Structure 1
């Protein structure tokens, strides 16, 4: 049953869509395996060619975000939209999804993991920002969303202006903390989103704030206890992270995403994971050109 008052927002190419959270937001069933395409590794350059030849890839995703990147205690494989986009990229390198090593990646270690070579790519609700692009590569965006609030179901909070001087949590290392402080609330960082959600449930903090898509998944998991409120007060452009040393990677990612946008693969991934939450499939966003 759809919650009438729980809404999140996804925007793509200037289009804003309302989403009512319901069901499990794609967090329950194990995602299907995706076969690697028949490709010639010589068609790629730099790091993309090396990964293709190796036939395996390590990808950092979140494990605690229903609908985006979520790993249950009963499954070895994470599920969600970020995960499905990662499978698309791997497949376009000729790599079966069973040969992907999934590395749990939290907000605070995304750049270090890429810089240290612990992961090849990061798809972990990773907002594209100028500061991040100074230290790592970011391609995309493959989704555009906006920051909102998650509050107790009986809360009278309607938007961020009602929380001036109040503690609002998000994850350490995320851009959400900065946006919370800019709006006059007190940003409090925790290591994981699930920990932040628990602080809202037990009343330790007044609200949680991050991308509306993430919040909708948690509202769905806690039906009747939590709700998403307020219009978006930021625009979050979600992209793919890679090491600045990974030559050829941006061109490959943009070509892969463009093909997925054009042939409907991206839309199917969205419908499979975030569609159960009641959201209409948005128009694919415009990709940034690769930076030299």
Structure 2
């Protein structure tokens, strides 16, 4: 008799638990975790008051909305360049929108949706200085972030150049301002955001080189094809309804940075 009572009690608890889950009662489905950058003005920046702003933040918020999540249900998680694949593999985040260039090497570990943006690698230098051509890069000491495609491109294409790899672009910017490095190298979209910041105006300028084409994708765990398709649909809708261009104008317009039209989706299978 005790066994039957215990079983009945367990069944009742299970039924209540299922009912609470069906009503959205506090389960993991109530929130979605999205990886972004915290230190990239114009793309992904955490402000002193704890808000998140930038083009990537707007893209991530739009995608999450199409997946059924309100802005207050989004948990933005900092995703350093060198940690993104690991974070997706461990399930730390559901997807990543963090100036995440699509490469064959990365596609061995994670999948992508998109691309949703195209950028070009350039150099940020001190105002009044110049880099006349690509050949001059070999004589410079540059700074970039470890694990970024920019650092990998530089090491491969300009092995004679000095390269300092740090944890964040903000650290590289400090080195540029203190003249311990000659230039910060990464995507022009990121560099334009730094140059446009109020505290940096008049200090830095872009060299105007186009060293690579970087197609930003939304990183997702390997094999999540349904999630990829849903995100691709959200990106397409964002472009079609004008929200993509509005975000471009808001975040890159003040820097005078010209952005190419939204690229064609390639990560579809």
TM range (shorter): 0.7 to 0.9
Mapping of residues 145-160 of structure 1, within 5 Å: 145-160=119-134
Corresponding position of 1:196: 172
TM norm structure 2: 0.84
Deviation at 1:179, TM superposition (A): 1.7
Q: Which runs of 4+ in 1 moved over 4 A?
A: none
Aligned partner (choices 51, 60, 64) of residue 77 of structure 1: 51
Change in CA separation of 1:166 and 1:283 when aligned onto 2, cut-off 3 Å: closer
Instruction: Write the deviation string for residues 227-275 of structure 1: whole angstroms up to 9, x where unpaired.
Output: 1113211000011001014341111111111111111121112222222
Corresponding position of 2:84: 110
Corresponding position of 1:224: 202
> For 1:151, what is the secondary structure of its paired residue?
strand
Mapping of residues 212-251 of structure 1, within 5 Å: 212-221=188-197, 222-251=200-229
Q: Give structure 1 stretches of 5+ with no counterpart.
A: 1-52
Deviation at 1:280, TM superposition (A): 5.0
Retained in 2: the 8 A contact 1:178–1:187? no
Corresponding position of 1:253: 231
Mapped partners of 1:162, 1:62: distance in 2: 30
Instruction: Write the deviation string for residues 174-210 of structure 1: whole angstroms up to 9, x where unpaired.
Output: 0101222213423221000100111111111111110
> For 1:70, what is the secondary structure of its paired residue?
strand
Mapping of residues 1-292 of structure 1, within 5 Å: 54-74=29-49, 76-181=50-155, 182-183=157-158, 184-221=160-197, 222-280=200-258, 282-291=260-269
Total equivalences in the alignment: 239
Deviation at 1:162, TM superposition (A): 1.5
Tell which has more relative contact order, 1 or 2 (C-alpha 8 A, sep 6+).
Answer: 1
TM norm structure 1: 0.78
Greater C-alpha Rg = 2
* Greater helix proportion: 2
Deviation at 1:281, TM superposition (A): 5.7
Mapped partners of 2:246, 2:58: distance in 1: 9
